[in-house]
Copies of this chain bind each other. A is one copy, B any other.
Amino acid sequence: MLRSCAARLHALGALRGLRGGARPPARSPGPARRSLFLEADFHKDSSLPKPSWSKDMRLLFDQFMKKCEDGSWTRLPFYNYKSIQNVHDSIVFIHGRLPTTAKLVDKEQLSQAQIFTETFKDGLGFEYVMFYNDVEKRTVCLFQGGPHLQGMPGFLHGGAVATMIDATVGMSAMKAEGLVMTANLNINFKRPVPLCSVVVINSQLDKTEGRKLFISCDVRSVDETTLYSEATSLFIKLDPKKNS
């Protein structure tokens, strides 16, 4: 039961819209595991270099891939999901663990659902890849914000920056504790991020207190000299036993 549950949490990480939460099973999964893993499209890992990536993005990617060679860092792949039936099952599973009594989204609406950060065509929206260091409990996100994320003319919308901060600190939380939910996000916007530039989001698990996880991050330019934003966050670990 526990193992089945752990596998579910692992798969659900990807369903949350975070990268690296699910990987292709090395061998044929058991029935319980298959039911959730089949939601993902393992043919396309969207965190690999694309023609739309800028020179800065590729250089940073190569640098971090080098860091992965000794095993201290790991690139976190991302596999999107497709199967509506299984996603609906997952919603029911998650719904029982959340502080909500809201009505579930119906299947017709769900048939159009897409993960927010994966909605855009290549290069126009959120281009990013994450790397994780388990010893240091750090997640680094390389993020290239495309032209469809504009706020003030020429700069990224604050909401787009907040989205990637949430995704990155969320990944740190999920890698540490499994199924989690954002409880607080406190962002200081120091400078606006130019449209189409690359930034590095560096997040760190600071401490845990029971089911609470405190994670901070900063958003810097590629050469690290410009601090764009700083943020702190609080995540709550959801109870995997609830309703299971």
A interface residues with partner B (beta carbon < 8 Å): 12, 15-17, 87-88, 90-91, 94-95, 98-105, 109-110, 112-117, 119-120, 124-125, 146-160, 162-164, 166-167, 170, 181-197, 221, 226
Contact = CB atoms under 8 A, between A and B. Distances in A.
The listed residue with most B CB atoms (<10 A of its CB), out of A91, A113, A149, is A113
A152 B39 CA distance: 13
Nearest to A100: B191
Contacts of A163: 157-160, 162-163
11 contacts: A17-B151, A88-B154, A95-B154, A98-B155, A103-B194, A104-B194, A112-B148, A113-B150, A115-B150, A159-B166, A162-B163
Is chain A's binding surface mostly helix, strand, loop or mixed? mixed
Of A117, A125, A147, A159, most B-chain CB atoms within 10 Å: A159
Contacts of A196: 105, 109
B160 A116 contact: yes
B182 A100 contact: no
A184 B182 contact: no
